[in-house]
Amino acid sequence: MAAKSPLMTTLHESARHLALTHRELTLRAQAQEADIAAAMVPILARHRPGIDAAAEEKAAAQDALMRLVQANPQLFKRPRSVTVDGVKAGYRKELDSLDWDDEQVVIARIQAMLPDQVDLLIRTQTSLVADALPQLDATTLRQIGVRQVSGSDQAFVSIGDSDVDKLVKAILADAARRQGDDDTPRAKKGKVKIKEVA
């Protein structure tokens, strides 16, 4: 076995030194994260009961206001909503949507009646491109078996975000990101909302 050259020995020593410094940096960063997590435990424990109680009270107040709005739609003809201390309540129209009974029937009709738009309106796995269908006129939609469903008035209550609300959302989002909590993906639906084009 040939002896290592002095330059190769220096290179190996330099690589070992880099590995050691990397491990040291990693250990220090992990220790910092552990200390921060430990320091947060008593703060979180101290505030959790108050936050839970306030959240429960807010949910009850929001439900009460929603019931009041839903029981009195006549109050929201003009204007359609009111705003009090940053809380907005009333009625607003949902987005219009498209609906169909049998996707395969609609696909067959598009293939027969609109062959030049097949790539635009049908995915390669043979399903409808729901976002493209609203571009068709009402007559064509009816001919291919797609109904246009008008959005209905829905009661709503919303609260404008204060600077504190934005800070709380940022803290919660950061905590969820670090813990790896993801929202589960929504299930695919057979409807599509129509966004108005300006």
State the pLDDT at residue 185: 44
Residue 125 has pLDDT above 60, yes or no: yes
Give the position of tokens 């940022």: 170
Residue 106 has pLDDT above 90, yes or no: yes
% of the chain residues with pLDDT over 70: 78
H-type alpha helices, the chain: 6-71, 103-113, 118-121, 138-144, 163-179
b/e burial code for range 36-47 (CB count within 10 A of at least 16 → b) = eeeeeeeeeeee
For the chain, percent of residues with pLDDT exceeding 90: 40
Task: Tell me what pLDDT residue 38 has.
Answer: 92
Give the SS3 label for residue 8: helix
The residue ranking higher by pLDDT, 176 or 152, is 152
Rounded-to-integer distance, Cα 11 and Cα 7, Å: 6
Q: What is the pLDDT of residue 192?
A: 62
Structure confidence at residue 191 (pLDDT) = 62
| Residue pair 151/98 in contact by the 8 Å Cβ criterion | no
Q: What is the pLDDT of residue 69?
A: 94
- The whole-chain average pLDDT of the chain stands at 83
State pTM to two decimals.
0.49
Residues with Cβ within 8 Å of 87's Cβ and at least 6 positions away in sequence, in order, are 65, 157, 158, 159, 160
**The pLDDT value given to residue 6:** 86
Mean pLDDT of 5-20: 88
Could you give the CA distance from residue 117 to residue 121 in angstroms, rounded to a whole number?
6
Please say if the pLDDT value at position 176 is more than 70. no
Assess whether pLDDT exceeds 50 at residue 188: no
